[in-house]
A and B are shown apart, each in its own frame.
Chain A
């Protein structure tokens, strides 16, 4: 804790780095020893970034304790990260302490901040006052030995680093689409540096999709406004992206019940019944093909024997909800769809970079796991990109942990890391204003 007095870098870096991708929904974390090679997704552990409180069993669950929870009914969440930025440090501190500073913390994650480096990721366009808060807490409260904060997805440029080569260069042109819980961002990267003026953001993220499904189900069937966890599970289980706008219209016709006097049979390949968990016998629901007789029974009689079951029929909700990523105007958000947003982003770039970016598009973030997302994005983007341009889109192998892995590879490179990290003593001497300028890339050596 005591300042070392010297503002020169002492040559002995702590040997381990806590790599923390602090998302709004989950935190992705792992301890990376210096110079470690062969990092994989398995070195990363994922924990919910929330404190949950149930009014039924009167218990509070902090982060990974949620895996012990059996009754997700009316579970209320407190999330320290809002719109991707750490806002509530009281809750964030409790979660971090629980996850990796406590004596009870998980084996691989426990670390002493005073003997560790911290590599912390943030969302782009973070308000500078929140960045200042973050820096102050990291050094003054947690007292990390060294620390570096940067925009998380930029570290995806370091995936192809060769651990043996000395001249470790990041990928030259890379267009990262981060479709996450809070929102969706388009990040053009040049040699690992974010081209700030070309960054574009969409309001639509996983949170908005879950809340929209919650609203629709509550309006059409049961009141589920308190069942965020359940609706998120349902969204992950059943939603899909229609392959095209035309197919969307067709699917909408096929799930329509028709008019009075002109009944239609809904398409059983799309409409599902989701058997809701009762949190007594089983705590996870499941989907099964729609059975019209069962849903009629729901209104009046329950089957005389057998367990009572509650069904949530899901028709056009399955594809109308993720459709918001491609048509945000459907609920009145005044933003273009994801493909147009990508084109707006690259329109800012000079021609050569534009070609390079579109040839290297990588999708990260949980929404990309929705079936059909990649196909739809690729076909719509291909239609917008000039024919003579190459377009290569790929989804990261594990879109949730991919950014963490890029950060871990960056952290395993001692040379790169040494350049980026800031020592606590230096912070104590120069203060948070200087630190903010340094992390923003200002030449304030």
Chain B
């Protein structure tokens, strides 16, 4: 969906006298001090905060939904191992086999270890630098965090001279002309693995706005539900939405 932005109209001629203007703005002086319809009044003022901004509650709901979609095992289900299996042979093995931890526990612990310092991680050659500033969660990154990749290994690119077509073909065929120096390669190859949370791609700061879909039928979500902020495509889906999913975030 193309991003349409309404530019402010600068045609304000300073003319004497008076003129008719279209009254579109929100005028607090005209709102009743004790409005009857509190919900509507709240929605009207809340709607001012921008189209693509989400409340903390909505963000939490989205994060929960993604977590749900990305889950491997349902913690509510208990499926036993059928038959008799060989017993654990050592104490270590018994401890590991009986562990009931889930992946999130392991990832949290790993994250805690990384925060503590590089001690438990395997020391190779290059020290971790900017890598640790990369985003650690799925919240939208700030522009600072969105700089892609660890900067320590971004090597100064050679000045790009105008290469000939034939030369370039040769280059791609051999993959190696002119090759990076041994030192460069060593730095690249001996870099420490990123932690799991650091390995995710980051959304650039200037990404196009999120496409919105109807909560009910999947068509473009052109209308925002006043109660919960979900998108719907039209009246028909609005009814379906209100009878099923609406007020989910309320």
- Whether, in the assembled complex, A137 has its beta carbon less than 8 Å from a beta carbon of chain B, the answer is yes
Chain A proximity of B104: nearest CB distance (Å) = 9
- Whether, in the assembled complex, B45 has its beta carbon less than 8 Å from a beta carbon of chain A, the answer is no
Q: Which of B172, B175, B194 contacts A197 (CB 8 A)?
A: B194
A170 to B153, CA, bound (A): 23
Query: Which stretch from B8-16, B17-25, B32-40, B134-142 is at the chain A interface?
Result: B134-142
- Whether, in the assembled complex, B6 has its beta carbon less than 8 Å from a beta carbon of chain A, the answer is no
Known: A320-B213, A335-B203, A344-B148. A79 touches B72 (CB 8 A): yes
Known: A329-B203, A441-B190. A85 touches B106 (CB 8 A): yes
Contacting pair B102 A125 (CB below 8 A) = no
Contacting pair A198 B93 (CB below 8 A) = no
Contacting pair B199 A125 (CB below 8 A) = yes
Q: Which of A83, A87, A196, A207 contacts B191 (CB 8 A)?
A: A196
Which of chain B's residues have a CB closer than 8 A to the CB of A331? 62, 65-66, 69
A78 to B77, CA, bound (A): 8
Which of chain A's residues have a CB closer than 8 A to the CB of B158? 351
Contacting pair B66 A203 (CB below 8 A) = yes
Given contacts A257-B217, A341-B201, A350-B157, 5 further A-B contacts (CB under 8 A): A76-B77, A143-B89, A197-B149, A198-B153, A220-B218
Which of chain A's residues have a CB closer than 8 A to the CB of B99? 88-89, 133
Q: Mark A306-330, 1 if CB is under 8 A from B, else 0.
A: 0000000001110010000001011
Please list the residues of chain B having a beta carbon within 8 angstroms of any beta carbon in chain A: 1, 62, 65-66, 68-74, 77, 79-82, 85-86, 88-90, 92-93, 96-99, 101-103, 106-107, 109-110, 113, 120-124, 131, 138-141, 148-150, 152-155, 157-158, 160, 163, 168-169, 171-172, 175-180, 184-185, 188-196, 198-204, 207, 210-211, 213, 216-220, 233-236, 244-245
A329 to B163, CA, bound (A): 38
Contacting pair B177 A352 (CB below 8 A) = yes
Contacting pair A197 B201 (CB below 8 A) = no
Which of chain B's residues have a CB closer than 8 A to the CB of A166? none
The size bracket of the interface on A is 35 or more
- Whether, in the assembled complex, A362 has its beta carbon less than 8 Å from a beta carbon of chain B, the answer is no
Q: Mark A220-244, 1 if CB is under 8 A from B, else 0.
A: 1000000000000000000000000
Known: A124-B199, A140-B93, A329-B207. A388 touches B122 (CB 8 A): no
Which of chain B's residues have a CB closer than 8 A to the CB of A186? 201
Contacting pair A260 B97 (CB below 8 A) = no
Q: Mark A21-54, 1 if CB is under 8 A from B, else 0.
A: 0001000000000000000000000000001110
Q: Which of A53, A129, A344, A350 contacts B201 (CB 8 A)?
A: A344
Chain A proximity of B72: nearest CB distance (Å) = 4
Which of chain B's residues have a CB closer than 8 A to the CB of A332? 62, 65-66, 210
Which of chain A's residues have a CB closer than 8 A to the CB of B81? 51, 90-91, 94
Contacting pair B194 A199 (CB below 8 A) = yes
Contacting pair B189 A199 (CB below 8 A) = no
Chain B proximity of A395: nearest CB distance (Å) = 20
Q: Which of B107, B184, B220 contacts A127 (CB 8 A)?
A: B107
Chain A proximity of B111: nearest CB distance (Å) = 9
Which of chain A's residues have a CB closer than 8 A to the CB of B97? 89-90, 93, 137, 141
Which of chain A's residues have a CB closer than 8 A to the CB of B171? 352, 355
Which of chain B's residues have a CB closer than 8 A to the CB of A252? 218-220
Contacting pair B103 A195 (CB below 8 A) = no
Chain B proximity of A202: nearest CB distance (Å) = 6
A256 to B213, CA, bound (A): 12
A336 to B206, CA, bound (A): 11
Q: Which of B120, B176, B191, B210 contacts A329 (CB 8 A)?
A: B210
Known: A87-B106, A208-B69, A352-B176. A334 touches B199 (CB 8 A): no
Which of chain B's residues have a CB closer than 8 A to the CB of A77? 73, 79
Contacting pair A193 B175 (CB below 8 A) = no
A364 to B148, CA, bound (A): 24
Q: Which of A124, A219, A327 contacts B244 (CB 8 A)?
A: A219
Contacting pair A360 B122 (CB below 8 A) = no
A252 to B72, CA, bound (A): 30
A390 to B96, CA, bound (A): 48
Chain A proximity of B144: nearest CB distance (Å) = 15
Which of chain B's residues have a CB closer than 8 A to the CB of A220? 216-218
- Please provide the chain A residues from 55 to 112 with a CB less than 8 Å away from any CB of chain B in the complex: 60, 62, 76-79, 81-83, 85, 87-91, 93-94, 97
Contacting pair A78 B69 (CB below 8 A) = no
Indicate the member of B65, B106, B184 with the most A CB atoms within 10 Å: B106
Contacting pair B201 A335 (CB below 8 A) = yes
Contacting pair B90 A141 (CB below 8 A) = yes
A320 to B219, CA, bound (A): 10
Which of chain B's residues have a CB closer than 8 A to the CB of A193? 189
Chain A proximity of B233: nearest CB distance (Å) = 8
- Whether, in the assembled complex, A359 has its beta carbon less than 8 Å from a beta carbon of chain B, the answer is yes
A428 to B173, CA, bound (A): 47
